[in-house]
A and B are shown apart, each in its own frame.
Chain A
Amino acid sequence: MKKVIVASLLAASSLLAHSALMSCFDNGDGTVTCEGGFSDGSSASGTNFFVRQGGNVLITGRMDQHSEFTFKKPEGAFEAVFDAGEGHQVVIQGKDIAQ
């Protein structure tokens, strides 16, 4: 019972009062930069970020102090994921990242 309470509290704690946002740009030099943020203006610095291809996570890390993450563009289709917790994931398809 106690476990259930703790678990539900944790789930709730990620239910923040804002929504997650991300936009990615292809830098044209073989790298992509994604910038994260929150609707209320909060910094996304330190938030999890990863790149996956199929079921594999290729690159993982955290948004830097400018709420950005730059990575080498993988070959083929991929997804960039801004992971700010349950219900606060933003996924951008590689093909949607404009040149």
Chain B
Amino acid sequence: MIKVALAGQPNCGKSTIFNLISGIKQHIANYPGVTVEKKSGVFSHKETKIEVVDLPGTYSFSSYSLEERVAKEFILDENPDVIVNIVDASNIKRNLYLTFQLLEIGKPVVVVLNMMDVAKRRGMEINVERIASMLSCPVVAASGAKGEGKEAIVEAILQAKNAPYNEFKINYEELEPTIKEVEALLEEDTLQVSKRWVAIKALEGDSVILEKISHLNTTIKEKRLAFHNTHDKDAESFLAALRYDSADVIYHQSVSEKQLGKKTVTDVADSIVLNRWLSFPILFLIIFLIYQSSIVYGYKLTDYTWPILAAFKNFIIAISPAPDFTQVPMITDFAIWMVNSANALLNYIPIFLILFALIAILEDVGYMPRMAFILDRIFKKFGLHGQSTLPLVLGGAFVGGCAVPGVMATKGIADERARMATILSVPYMNCLAKVPFYTLLLGAFFEAQMALMMFFISTVTLFIALIVARLLTSTVLKTRETSPFVMELPPYHLPTLKGVVFRAIERVWMYIKKVGTIVLAVAIVLFAMLELPGLSKEQASSYEQRSQALLDAFYQQTANTSYGERLNTREHVAELLNVYDDYRARRMIATPDQAEKIDATFEANHPFYFTFVRPPADNAEARAINRHLRNLSRDRRGILQEIKNTKIENSLLGHIGRSLEPITQFAGFDWKINVAFLSSFAARESAVATLGSIYENNAADNLRAEEAMAQNSGYTPLHAAAIIIFMILTPPCIATMIVVKLQTGSYRWMLFAIFFPITLGLIVSSVLFTLGNQFGWSGVEAFALFYGLVVAITLFVGSLPQKRINWSGGLVKINLNQEEK
């Protein structure tokens, strides 16, 4: 087996080459302990197994960024046989900077000149043999996007594995004596790489290498200092300068450009896309299109995928133990709960497929860094990054979105502090699933001012997210690194269909795999918190009595019919009800054609019961029983709902809700609201239902949930305003928190993302509610005040200066096509 490490700078087409040579059998994991993706693939060539590991894209091979550390640690710890260095042929000079460092490692290196087609189009003539002889390593010309070069690359890998390593040396002039001294010190060292490379890296102050040779750290420190004192130069910048010079030498000896000075397509496109007046409209158009296609059309697609999930749920219900009238086995409850939790997440898949495909296209095209470039000026003021745009939009910047894809989209943000700030502020955006909740409260308490309130709610969220981002970046995230990178605007590329589809599916699969496992764990804990300790003995027997009364009434209603004898035991009636409910659940998601099939299946499986589920027109008795059955089913559902509410009241979560009352009373929340909030966080679709059922008085009247709430709760619009503000500030759902865990890589940040907003929400709504009571504000007045305050704070905070740690420069646009004067 040959172990191959694939290294290259960002935008060199590394993933295309990776896909080209390793085929579809890929494995994605994380590098141990960090959230950097590790892709690997195994394939066979001429009976030799070859494993390819895709290292993260890095500009150099120092330890400035997490990616660089990870890449270097892989080389040191996993000892690959061959390093394949992908080089953007249209950008040779800059790419060689990394190549030199790879050649020095002391492992066989194969250089792949990728994007030869692009170079050719630009009028560059590259002398591949000349480069090979100057670097003294094999050089292969390829074009990943066109699928050219696979054979040659694989051949070169096989040969490189067996060929002796040709030492590659750059003459580091004044530093050479020091390098030799350090090398001599390493005599006893067992690192499986070139000693010269270790010496050079150590002199550069590379933290990964220094960790490996910690016994020499003081000596090396002295040598670095000595070099600095003698030559008045830092070793690292001295080395960098020599590498750039060497790259320049190779470039001039092997490349000739014919169209120098001519405007490239990229230049022309950039003059439009980055135009002072056009950049924002174009950006908004693109964001709008992404939003429209992924969130809006994605949701439309779920209309087609949802029945599959519903069928899955029906299947699970069918194989779980059947309920005995109002006695539902806990295992059945549990199974349904788990399926609901899983389905809630799986329902996002169509949205993610579209979203990830579009993001892959934008990445391939090269628009992502340009977007960041355009918006960075504004976001910088709030500690965010230009690249925060997309996550915030997906989270619901326009009209309502979803925090789950929003948080997922933070992955590409290079600036660590801004990435964390984005992850933690996206959940404040306007989540679509919160909207029914707002509608309920607005309908109950603000019917006249609904439009105004909706406008407030929709727009206040972005301001809040910005303030929170700024707050976090100047406090808890203050010491987080901001990356010392220069924004690169690579030439535009045409995306390949294969690459886009590949990456979209790959990311969705990862989402399913990771979120799936965590969500199931969290769902189990929540189930226990909602379910235990369950009903008390008295409550259980009281419900049982009511159930029995319903059954007795049903027996009586059917006693005088010719079916009476077969419908007078609990067992039979329970079974009949289960068939009836199952039938209705299936009919609900069926198209007219499927409906007929369902009828036929049920009739075949339950010929006797089906008579009452769907009574024949000429059978008056069956019709009457059907009517009674319908009522019985309704009453049963009523009791089940009551049992559920009682269980919630008794549950751990219910107790937490009660115990929070002393604190939440300042915001005007009683324990019922607390429980509704707590359980809605567990399963958001129940938010409205929980509140509705808590405030329902009796089954008899036909009040809407809104009306019932307005009449029965004793709340004022001020209460409602406080509740809405709290809802705006609280995290949308468990799924969001789980992706927060995924993206931050820690449960502590997840807990922070849960409790910080809740505390903030509680404080804000308490202050508003208490002051509002004091001064007799109406709900709308209180909310308008809140809105005004938030906008004012945003403007104020935005005007404060904020500095970026480790990064003194602003954004610099490097025009890659004109770097050779």
Contacts and interface: CB of A to CB of B under 8 A. Distances in A.
A27 B630 contact: yes
Contact of B451 (A6, A22, A66): A6
B203 interface: no
A65 B696 contact: yes
B705 A45 contact: yes
Nearest to A37: B588
Interface in A61-88: 61-62, 64-66, 68
B258 interface: no
A53 interface: no
Interface stretch (B229-237, B543-551, B685-693): B685-693
Interface string A1-42: 000011011101101111101110001110001010111111
A96 B689 CA distance: 30
Contact of B626 (A28, A35, A65): A28
A89 interface: no
Size range of the chain A interface in the assembly? 35 or more
A9 B627 contact: no
Nearest to A31: B627
Size range of the chain B interface in the assembly? 35 or more
Interface in B412-460: 432-433, 435-436, 438-439, 450-452, 454-455, 458
Contacts of A13: 399-400, 435, 438-439, 454, 458
B630 A33 contact: yes
Given A29-B623, A64-B702, A8 B402 contact: no
B617 A99 contact: yes
B615 A28 contact: yes
Interface string B111-130: 00000000000000000000
A33 B614 CA distance: 13
30 contacts: A6-B451, A10-B450, A13-B454, A15-B399, A15-B400, A17-B299, A17-B402, A17-B433, A19-B302, A19-B303, A23-B584, A27-B626, A27-B630, A35-B584, A39-B303, A39-B306, A40-B685, A42-B688, A42-B689, A45-B689, A45-B692, A45-B704, A46-B704, A62-B702, A64-B702, A65-B692, A65-B699, A66-B634, A68-B634, A96-B592
Given A9-B454, A17-B299, A17-B402, 17 more contacts: A9-B455, A10-B451, A12-B398, A13-B439, A15-B400, A19-B302, A37-B588, A38-B685, A40-B685, A41-B685, A42-B685, A42-B688, A42-B689, A43-B688, A43-B689, A46-B692, A66-B638
Q: 7 tightest CB-CB pairs across the interface, nearest first?
A: A12-B399, A46-B704, A17-B432, A28-B623, A39-B306, A19-B303, A43-B689
Interface of B: 296, 299, 302-303, 306, 310, 340, 344, 347, 398-400, 402, 432-433, 435-436, 438-439, 450-452, 454-455, 458, 584, 587-590, 592, 595, 599, 614-615, 617, 623, 626-627, 630, 634, 637-638, 685, 688-689, 692-693, 696, 699, 702, 704-706
Interface of A: 5-6, 8-10, 12-13, 15-19, 21-23, 27-29, 33, 35, 37-43, 45-46, 61-62, 64-66, 68, 96, 98-99
